[in-house]
Each structure stands twice: as structure tokens, then as C-alpha cells.
Chain A
Amino acid sequence: MRLLLAIAFRHLMARKRQSVVSLAGIVLGVAFFMAISSLMQGSEADFIRRLIDNSPHITITDEYRTNKRQPVFEAYPNAAIQLRNISPMPENRGIRGYIQTLQLLKTYPGVRASPSLSGQGILTFAGRNIGLTVTGMIPADIQGVTTIGKYMQKGKVLDLETDSNGILIGETLSRKYGVDMGDSLPITSGTGTTRSFKVVGIFRTGRGGYDERNAFVTLPRAQALLGQPNRINSIIIKLDDAYQARTLASQIETAIGYKAESWQEQSEDMLSTLVIRNIIMYTVVSAVLLVAAFGIYNVISTVVLEKQRDIAILKSMGFEAHEIQTIFVSQGVMLGFAGAAAGVPLGVALMTGLMQVKMKVPGTREPITMPLSWEWNIFAIAIAFAVTASILAALLPARKASKIEPVEILRGGF
């Protein structure tokens, strides 16, 4: 075996320039593969982390996944008369028995839940009518399940507890209409009730529309304003382990009947876009390595063609077909490993370089850096891919070499 490797190595060294060129292909392929997959994994992880941080893990709403069957159909399952145009009984919207539901949720470990009631209200201010989504919640609970606390520019969420008549408004609304802390805002609901709220906090999420059209008050105030006492219409849940959301959501849904949606279900579109993006990007980088593999195929084919006489003499001496094949396959292995050995540091350099890049994205204030992943599997996959591609590229010419019949070459002389 050592002898075969020595022969393989000498062949490559005798063809330095060609070997180096094909090596360069592998080196670049490995480096790009690493940089791209690091970016892909990094941005995906970053995206999912943001998603997990910023959105509820499970949202329970006052809806049913399928409309409830009419009682008449339950009562007469095999009836002969068909009833058409039955409309569901008007139902006061909201989650019924939410206190019990919250009690139930407390029994699951690692679950934080916050009930809320949202509805439309009209703010009359400075001679204008401004539509607002008013959400009533329990300040201490909402802190645990949303990032609203992080976004507060003035005041605190918990200030609502001390001033039960308080309201939190968005920065855009405040700026646009000159509303400031301590101002009193009259809000009218669809039922005609008007309540006056005092601004105790201003938040800024960065999304202009959200910051203009949303306001937060305490749950009892919202229930009073919207005329829905003792009702809520959604429960937001955060979990210690976000990846439990899917199973827990279906457990909750079967337990209480209302629709419970996990974050994965809510973001299904985006998550499947990620998968497609991954497929596209990996196809592209794999193509780079594939092209590099063609380079290797090229060198080894040339070597085999030039070395027909050497192969003939080796075979006449008693080298066997599989040993000849080993010589040329190991050339592929050598190029593959050498390419990976040089490609990994280059890839690391590329990744380090990318980490330094700061970009200013419109709509954000702070420049963002590229999210890169340094998972070990990036390195492993790049190396494995390069070596496998090199071996496969070498295999074809190597098989051809092993099939050379010495007599045919010897008969031909030169």
C-alpha cells in the first residue's frame, strides 16, 4: 500500500501545475461551501431565534378549528329529513371559562400564559378620529410572554398596575399627534362606551404601522370599554422550550376545544421558504464543488492516459488491477484531502471576514452584522463533500486504468 501511495504521489508531483490548478478548485469550493453554509445556518438560526423571541409560542384564540355541529344533527344522527340554511346560534364572542383555562395551563411545567382581550376603539384627539386596536392585559403576565418591556421608550409596563386608568401607546402615534406622557385620551368603543385613559408609557417596536395603531390597557378596563365583562379573546403562551409548542398546542386544543396555534404553525409559510432557500443555496455551492471535481477528473484522466506504458509495465511486473485502481483513486483522495486542508483555513478566513461586515439596512437604526454559524457540522460536511467528490471523480479514470491490458500496450510499442 505504501508503494502504491508513493507512486500516486509521484505522479501528482510530476504534474505540479495541473495538480495545483485542480487543487485550487477544491480549495475554493470548500471555502465557499463553508462560508455559504455558515451564513445559511447562521441566518436561519437567527431568524428562528427572533421568531421564537418575538412571537407567542402558542396563541389560543376564541375560534374553533371546525364549526361546531348543530345540536339538531347530534340529536338525530340518522334523520330522514334534511334541514338546510341552519345558521349557528349567535354566541357572545370570547373564550368562555378562561379562568379555568388559565388554571389548567398553570399545571403544565415551563408554561407562562397571559390572557388578553383585544377590540377596536376610536381615539378622538385634536379634532381627529383615530382607529386603534386596544388590548387589555395583565401587566405582570404580559411581561413574561412578550418583548413589549424591551420596547418601552418612556414609562414601564408595570406602571399600568399603579395607575389602573393608564394606557401604553406607540411612538408613531405619539409623534404624529403630539401625544405625550400624562396626556388624557378619550377612546370610544363599538358599543358606544367612552372611557378616558392617561398615557403612562410609550413603546417603539420599529414597525411604523404597529406603533401607530396599537394601545395597551389593563384587562378590566378593556372589558369595560368593549362591553365584554369577564371575557377575553386570546391567551398568549410562552414556553421554556419553544420546540414543545407543537405537541403542547394540540394537547391544549383537545383539552379546551378552542383553537391553539403553535409558532411553527403560524409561521409555516416562512419556515417552508427557509427550506426552499436552503435547497437553492446548497445546490449552488454543491455545483461549485462539482465543478472542482471535474477538475480532478481531468487531471487524473490525463495522468492515466499519459501513464499507459507505466501501467502496462507495472501490470507485467505483477501489480494487479485493483492495485492500479488504488493508485489512481488515492490520487483523488490526496487531492481531496489537500484541498480540504487548504480550503478549511480559507473558509475560516472568509467567515471571519464576513463577520466584520456591518450593513445598514433601511428601517433600522443600528448597523447589523451577518449572522454566521460556527457549528462543527459545517466543517465536517465541507470536508466530507470535497473528499467524496474527489474520490468519485478519480474512480472513473482509475477504473479505466485498471482495465489496461499490458499486452495491448506492449504490442503497440510506443
Chain B
Amino acid sequence: MVKQPPLLRTEKLTRTLTGEIPITLVKQADVAIHAGEFVAIVGPSGSGKSSLLYLLGLLDKPTSGDLFFDGMNMSTATEHERARTRLAKMGFVFQFHFLLPEFSALENVLLPMQQLGEVPFEQGKARAIELLTRLGLKEQMHKRPHQLSGGQSQRVAIARALINKPQMLLADEPTGNLDSTSGNTVKQMFRELARTENCALAIVTHDDSFSAQADRTIHIVDGVIQP
């Protein structure tokens, strides 16, 4: 493998909740994720996996430490720059799909693309249809979220996360809410897409068979990354 600077790198990333009793969610985390790499984040329940993922995905701000993404220091970036980075370079999939119920599957997928506004609508729409087709949702495209099954909704969420060709996809237990069959489909989709789109994957999972497929595993216990 050619040595390249990592896509995402953190230095002593720490997140503490201030309160009467301060709680440290993530402690001194040093993480490096390279372009196209599949990293699984594992650990016992309550260990801080989600908290770490929110920090890596710029959804939460660290109390101390630095985060570099695509060569940019995100700790000093403005809220606007962080939002633009999430929109253009990152994609999110959560345990619960969080599709907007008033929009069809296709419209949900198109939302981030329209918000970014860099691709002509028709071109973006073609890409959305292609993504949905690859995810096996050609027939379900115009359905509303409430007309879709959990697995189908999750696949729509994946398509939505990928529509802007992100450099990294972050997922928090994406199969946690699915039965094993649709879970397997979704897992397969992730790997396939990550390979073809050359998109890094950071996935929090409890599923050993899923983490076994990862290039690398980050093990976290009590907010501390295990060596």
C-alpha cells in the first residue's frame, strides 16, 4: 500500500460532558482513517462508540484535541465550514433510518444533492435512480417511507448518504434494527458501495461477522481506544 496522508486523523480527541459530575465520553483518542478504508468501531454497550462517531462525523465538538479531515483542521473551522464538509464530503447512516416522512424515497435521496446544489438536478436525479436501482429499490423509488420495510428504508438512507459522493460514510449500528436477512443485504451493500465509490467507511457495530469483514477494527472501552 502506498503511504498517503490519512483522510481523517485525530490527535488526543477528548469529549467531556460538563455537569455536576463531568462525564468523559471519549478520552485522548488518536484515530487515523485512510481513503477507501473500512474501519469497524466495536466495544461494549455504553463504551463511547457513538460518541466517537459523532466526533469523527463533525456532529459533536471535542472538548480538547484536534481533528483533521481532508487536510483541513476541523477544530478551528466555523460552523458553516463544518456543515459544508458534512454535506459535501460525508454521509451518515443511523440505526433508525430518519427518512423525511413527507418525501418519497427518491426525494429523500435527492435532498442532500439539492442542498449542495453543485450538480444539475437531472444529472443528480439520474445518479439517485442508479443508486436506488443498485440497492434493489427500483420499484420502491416513489414510495413514501411508511410504505417501505425497515431494510428498504435503511437502504434508502444509504443511498441518501452516498448521493453527494462522500469521501467517508459514517454509520451507527446500521443493521441494529434489522432482521438477519435484510441485515445481510445492507451489510453487503455497504462493502460493495465502499469499494466502487472509493469511500471510507467508519461503522459502529455489535455484529462480529460484520466487523470481521473490516480492514481494521477500533476497539473502545470506557471511552478509551484499546491498543
What count of chain B residues pass the 8 Å CB interface test? 28
Q: Which A1-20 residues have a C-beta within 8 angstroms of B?
A: 3, 7, 10-11, 13-14
Cβ contact within 8 Å between A316 and B92: yes
Cβ contact within 8 Å between A319 and B101: no
Q: Which residue from B83, B98, B103 sits with its C-beta under 8 Å from A320? A: B83
Q: Which A388-414 residues have a C-beta within 8 angstroms of B?
A: 406-407, 410-411, 413-414
**B161, closest chain A residue (CB):** A317
Q: How far, in angstroms, from A315 to B90 measured CA to CA in the complex? A: 13
Cβ contact within 8 Å between B59 and A316: yes
Q: How far, in angstroms, from A315 to B57 measured CA to CA in the complex? A: 12
Bits for B95-113, please: 1 = Cβ < 8 Å to A, else 0: 1101011110000000110
Q: How far, in angstroms, from A218 to B88 measured CA to CA in the complex? A: 96
Which residues of A lie under 8 Å from residue B85 when comparing CB positions? 318
Q: Which residue from B100, B115, B116 sits with its C-beta under 8 Å from A310? A: B100
Given contacts A407-B54, A410-B50, contact A317 B100 (CB under 8 A): no
Q: How far, in angstroms, from A11 to B103 measured CA to CA in the complex? A: 10
Among A315, A316, A319, A414, the one with the most B-chain Cβ atoms within 10 Å of its Cβ is: A316
Whether A148 sits at the interface, judged by CB under 8 Å, is: no
Given contacts A11-B102, A310-B100, contact A406 B59 (CB under 8 A): yes
Whether B69 sits at the interface, judged by CB under 8 Å, is: no
Given contacts A3-B114, A10-B102, contact A317 B92 (CB under 8 A): yes
Whether A309 sits at the interface, judged by CB under 8 Å, is: yes
Which residues of B lie under 8 Å from residue A406 when comparing CB positions? 59
Which residues of A lie under 8 Å from residue B84 when comparing CB positions? 318
Whether A179 sits at the interface, judged by CB under 8 Å, is: no
Q: How far, in angstroms, from A320 to B114 measured CA to CA in the complex? A: 14
Whether A313 sits at the interface, judged by CB under 8 Å, is: yes
Which residues of B lie under 8 Å from residue A7 when comparing CB positions? 100, 102
Whether A36 sits at the interface, judged by CB under 8 Å, is: no
Whether B79 sits at the interface, judged by CB under 8 Å, is: yes
Cβ contact within 8 Å between A413 and B95: yes
What count of chain A residues pass the 8 Å CB interface test? 24
Q: How far, in angstroms, from A7 to B95 measured CA to CA in the complex? A: 23
Among A10, A11, A318, A411, the one with the most B-chain Cβ atoms within 10 Å of its Cβ is: A318
Whether A217 sits at the interface, judged by CB under 8 Å, is: no
Given contacts A3-B111, A14-B101, A319-B115, contact A407 B92 (CB under 8 A): no
Given contacts A3-B111, A318-B87, contact A414 B96 (CB under 8 A): yes
CB distance from B195 to the nearest CB of A (A): 24
Whether B3 sits at the interface, judged by CB under 8 Å, is: no
Whether A289 sits at the interface, judged by CB under 8 Å, is: no
**A406, closest chain B residue (CB):** B59
Given contacts A316-B92, A317-B87, contact A410 B59 (CB under 8 A): yes
Q: How far, in angstroms, from A233 to B57 measured CA to CA in the complex? A: 94
- A interface, by DSSP: helix, strand, loop or mixed? helix
Bits for B49-78, please: 1 = Cβ < 8 Å to A, else 0: 010001001011000000000000000000
Q: Which B164-183 residues have a C-beta within 8 angstroms of A?
A: 172
Q: How far, in angstroms, from A3 to B50 measured CA to CA in the complex? A: 30
CB distance from A45 to the nearest CB of B (A): 49
CB distance from B13 to the nearest CB of A (A): 15
Which residues of B lie under 8 Å from residue A14 when comparing CB positions? 101-102
Whether A312 sits at the interface, judged by CB under 8 Å, is: yes
Whether B127 sits at the interface, judged by CB under 8 Å, is: no
Q: How far, in angstroms, from A407 to B170 measured CA to CA in the complex? A: 14
CB distance from A76 to the nearest CB of B (A): 85
Q: How far, in angstroms, from A411 to B96 measured CA to CA in the complex? A: 11
Cβ contact within 8 Å between B79 and A320: yes
Cβ contact within 8 Å between B96 and A318: no
Q: How far, in angstroms, from A91 to B86 measured CA to CA in the complex? A: 97
Which residues of B lie under 8 Å from residue A316 when comparing CB positions? 57, 59, 86, 92
Q: How far, in angstroms, from A407 to B59 measured CA to CA in the complex? A: 6
**B61, closest chain A residue (CB):** A407
Cβ contact within 8 Å between B80 and A320: yes
Which residues of A lie under 8 Å from residue B103 when comparing CB positions? 10
Given contacts A7-B100, A11-B102, A312-B98, contact A318 B112 (CB under 8 A): yes
Cβ contact within 8 Å between A413 and B96: yes
Bits for A315-351, please: 1 = Cβ < 8 Å to B, else 0: 1111111000000000000000000000000000000
Cβ contact within 8 Å between B96 and A310: no
Q: How far, in angstroms, from A393 to B80 measured CA to CA in the complex? A: 27
Whether B94 sits at the interface, judged by CB under 8 Å, is: yes
Q: How far, in angstroms, from A309 to B85 measured CA to CA in the complex? A: 21
Q: How far, in angstroms, from A319 to B114 measured CA to CA in the complex? A: 11
Q: How far, in angstroms, from A3 to B95 measured CA to CA in the complex? A: 26
Q: How far, in angstroms, from A315 to B112 measured CA to CA in the complex? A: 11
**A-B pairs with the 9 shortest C-beta distances?**
A318-B87, A10-B102, A313-B98, A318-B86, A318-B83, A407-B60, A3-B114, A14-B102, A320-B83
Question: What are some 19 contacts across the A-B interface (CB < 8 A)?
Answer: A3-B115, A7-B100, A7-B102, A11-B102, A14-B102, A310-B98, A312-B98, A314-B100, A316-B57, A317-B86, A317-B92, A317-B111, A318-B84, A318-B86, A318-B112, A318-B116, A321-B79, A410-B59, A410-B172
Known contacts A10-B100, A317-B92, A406-B59, then 18 further A-B pairs from the complex at CB < 8 Å, ordered by chain A residue? A3-B115, A10-B103, A309-B96, A309-B98, A310-B98, A313-B92, A313-B98, A317-B86, A317-B111, A317-B115, A318-B86, A318-B88, A319-B115, A320-B80, A320-B83, A407-B60, A410-B59, A414-B96
